[in-house]
Chain A
Amino acid sequence: MTLRMSLLGLSAALMLTALAMVFFYAPTDIVLGVSQRIFYVHVPLALVGFLAFAVVAVCSIGYLWKGSERMDNVAYAAAEIGVLFTSLMLITGMLWAKPAWGVWWSWSPQLTTSLILWFLYAAYLMLRAYAPPGETAARYAAVLGIIGFIDVPIVYMAARWWRDLHPNKVLGPLAEESALEPPMQLTFLVSILAFTALFAWLMTERTELRRQEIQVERMRYIYGEA
């Protein structure tokens, strides 16, 4: 309880600080203008989304190894939050791409990999929803959690070569953090911390909720539907 409340407080405070820094502290980008400020939301979402899928993979291995239900609850929560963050990352990325590149979408390696990643973990959630409930769904999901994570670097390789063979499809360079001024770097760092804290808070809430859901299901099973 206290951990959850303090994580909530921490992420709220960091998020407000990050927002204030994004709009009032960080300087406006010379080339990209004001649209560059979405960077402080977009990139942390991507990083934390990827962290979430790493958590899914580690907990999937842990679940298959030890069979602990807690591991599975953590994996499930991480997958849900990962899909949420990845969805927001794709949306903010498209919003940024339009003013920066002039198109909503381009098949750059990062974009291709992110999209495949989103599909992978959307499939993970569907598998959990449609598999026989309980332990079977957890085992299936754990296998997919491992296969999916191993697949990511292979997808990235394929996407990179694919792009390289079609140089005329690439649109404009992405202004990456190499060009960041110190105030920008600080804002970026606070933003990453804010989204990481948000992730940690959502994780504790969702894992606890999942545990309670399972308890309710068990009670229903024991005492019958009423």
Chain B
Amino acid sequence: MSEQRAPGAPTGASWWAAILAVLWKDLLLESRTREIVTPIVVFSLLVIVIFSFVLDPNPRLIESVAPGALWVAFTFAGILGLNRAFALEKERGGMEGLLLSPVGRDLLYFGKMLGAFLFMLVVEIIMLPAFSAVFNLPLVEPGLWLVIVLATFGFATVGTAFAAMAVNTRAREILLPVLFFPVAAPVIIAAAEATRAVYAGDSFADYSNWVGLIAAFDVIFAVVAAATFEFIVNE
């Protein structure tokens, strides 16, 4: 991988500079176009509203199905965000520009992945209060926040790799979730179970194994996806 970095360029601190440059590009683009966060927030709120329509309002029932509803909304929102992450690069030829820049493919991956992670997180930060209000569930739950941050990071690790593939395929909008959901299944199971434990009032120790599972997933797939990213984006 090292031969891909420009001569005399990045080591140590400048790795961060390269990652942050890619991340900053995506944030700046989003702040000017508002093509990712705004529509996805509206979509996610609609998902919550639809869940309220179809579910029985019985409070005991809500407590058992709310974690599922929350994570269905989050994963659907995440898929939409990931679809957009590389769509803009594809439509406007941004990918060629990124590939021409003297940045290692692994650093490129971390830049794009952190961008996807932040966009998903922003959407979730807006959604969670709305969700808690509609279903009358507690909002100030640091344990739940930790689960959300870790699970979202896990979604971003594999999601970024798959989005970079799916954007170059036919039927890309449908292929991304088909690739993403089976691999992300353990995170979805773990996040929903941990959320259920939080809403049931369990202590952190009761669901720490789920948190550990998500954290392990995050670390493993951040490394694997970064190591294999050069095989995805190289032309």
Contacts and interface: CB of A to CB of B under 8 A. Distances in A.
B220 A159 contact: no
Contacts, number: 86
Given A123-B179, A139-B231, A155-B185, A161 B210 contact: yes
A130 B169 contact: yes
A106 to B, nearest CB: 16
B225 A147 contact: yes
B212 to A, nearest CB: 10
Interface in B75-111: none
B18 interface: no
9 contacts: A120-B182, A123-B182, A130-B171, A142-B231, A143-B232, A147-B224, A150-B224, A154-B220, A157-B213
B170 interface: yes
Contact of A158 (B175, B182, B185): B185
B183 A158 contact: no
Interface of A: 64, 116, 119-120, 122-123, 126-127, 130-132, 136, 139-140, 142-144, 146-148, 150-151, 154-155, 157-159, 161-162, 165
Contacts of B232: 139-140, 143
Contact of B175 (A119, A126, A148, A154): A126
A127 B183 contact: no
A122 to B, nearest CB: 8
Contacts of B179: 123, 127, 144
Max count, chain A CB within 10 A of own CB: residue among B162, B217, B225, B228? B228
A56 B165 CA distance: 19
Interface string B138-175: 00000000000000000000100110010011111001
- Interface of chain A, main secondary structure: helix
Interface stretch (B29-37, B42-50, B124-132, B186-194): B186-194
Contacts of B228: 64, 143, 146-147
Contacts of A131: 165, 168-169
Contacts of A136: 168
A126 B178 contact: yes
B169 A158 contact: no
B186 A143 contact: no
A122 B195 CA distance: 30
A161 B216 CA distance: 15
A162 B189 CA distance: 7
A123 B176 CA distance: 9
Contact of A130 (B175, B190, B216, B224): B175
A119 B181 contact: yes
Given A132-B168, A139-B232, A157-B186, A147 B221 contact: yes
A129 to B, nearest CB: 9
Contacts of B221: 147, 150
Contact of A140 (B165, B181, B220): B165
Max count, chain A CB within 10 A of own CB: residue among B186, B190, B232? B186
